[in-house]
Amino acid sequence: MDLAYIRECVVLPVSKQNPTGERLVDDPNLEFIEEQLIKVGSLSHATVKWDEVEHSVLNLLRNKSKDIKLLVYLLQCLLNQVTPERFIISFQAMTDFIDCYWESSFPVSGEKGTASRKKYLDLMLQRISLVIEKLDFAQFDQQQRSSLNDGVNRWFEAIEEKQPANTIVSAVVDSVVRGLKRAEQPQIQKTQVQPPQEMDSSIKQVSQDTADENSTKKTVLKLASTLSEQEFGAELSIRLRRYAIWGMIFTHPDHRPDGETLLRAMPAERIKEYQDQLRFPSMSLWNKIEHSLTLAPFWFSGQFMSFSVAQSIGKPDWAIAIADETHRFLQRMPFLHELKFKGGEPFVTDEVRAWLDKYSLSNESQIQGDWSERRREAYLLANDKGIAVALDMVNGGINSAQSYKDQFYWRLLSADLLRDNHLGGIAKSQYQSLYQQLKNMDISNWEAGLLEQLEKHSTSE
């Protein structure tokens, strides 16, 4: 069956006058579907007429009713003897239905149907989870892995908008991401052991050099630039800029057995120019270094230089953000410690190692309040128990936050977790949402307690 036709049946309205159609009552096609599917798991399982069931489900969705039960049955058909294409389309079809008909769908529409919709959603999530446990992600080619990643990200966003704080959804996303990472691992290992003579013929891009990724990088850099001009946006701008630099890097550069790559180091003349100006650090110098860093993702000495200038010009929060992002990227890609630029200069010099070691020891005391501990706890949970558990902890923090500022930082932590767990599309959406909130923020919301304290003292005799 044409997969595009499946999405068409889900998306297109039953009619212009009545997009969702009518409730299914005593419908012979529905009775046939349910009579067939009740055999699943029984001794009659082998007699299920899957093709006819799928055709009947699509016919009802297209021509008679946007009923969530039909979506459940469609998903069951798509996941039977699943292929990469049908697994991808299952997420896309769910997303289409949720976007177009979730609140208005049968059997119960509107607010009264909230509990019913949650029940059917949980049923679909359980079925997807069971399939993922047995699914061999290695059968997905590169294009299919990319399509699946995009489809799951969009699916997550759609459900979060309609049915937020569902931990099973996060668990499904986590399982898919882990499966994709496992499938990519053999290719990564092949790249790492590639013979030097093969590497000499050409050097691959560290990140996947696609138009979409270049566009994403430009968009995020532009957003970071705009955010840096806002009164409270500088620190977040620094983090976003580094997401643009590192967010799409998932594999190491090709290299010789001794770790030497064909990547050239930052020109010595440029480094000397910056070092000469370090005697008189300025915002202008810092901006120049930051611009150079967007062009040289593995110039970690430049990150240390930017950190030092930020401290010297009285911006300790900026310095912490630089160190934090650099430290986390190298934790995610530890093998970069072993690589060198062409000519033998290490990516990570002894000076940079000492800087990051010192930062990791003193980080908690430098960050305001206990946010460092919260971040550490969330990342430990993500590493040990999966992203779903970590996001559940963060959602609890958001729900219990007593101030706008605390809620904002919890949401920022959520975006950071998603970004660092191969969910860049969702993270980008959250960063953009946070940016808009911050851009339109009223200081009385950000520091309500401080404002009340100042008001109290200013009116006291």
Phi-psi region of 12 (alpha: psi -120 to 50; beta: other; left: phi over 0): beta
Which of 69, 78, 65, 177 is closest to 123 using CA atoms? 69
The residues facing 21 across adjacent strands are 65
The CATH architecture of the domain made up of 3-190 is Alpha Horseshoe (1.25)
User: Does the pTM of the predicted model rise above 0.75?
Assistant: no
Kindly give the confidence (pLDDT) of every residue in the chain, 461 residues in length, as a single tens digit, with 9 standing for 90 and above. Answer: 678 899 999 999 999 899 999 999 889 999 999 999 888 877 778 899 999 999 999 999 999 999 999 999 999 999 998 999 999 999 999 999 999 999 999 999 998 998 889 889 988 998 898 899 889 999 999 889 989 988 998 898 889 888 776 778 888 888 898 888 888 765 544 444 444 444 333 323 333 334 455 677 778 888 888 888 876 788 889 998 999 899 878 777 778 878 888 888 999 999 999 999 998 999 999 999 999 999 899 999 999 999 999 999 999 889 999 998 999 888 888 889 989 998 999 999 999 999 988 876 555 444 444 676 788 888 888 877 888 788 888 887 887 766 667 778 888 888 888 888 777 777 777 788 777 777 666 655 555 554 554 555 455 54
Cα–Cα nearest to 394, from 415, 367, 364, 368: 415
Which sequence spans correspond to the domains of the chain?
A: 3-190, 211-448
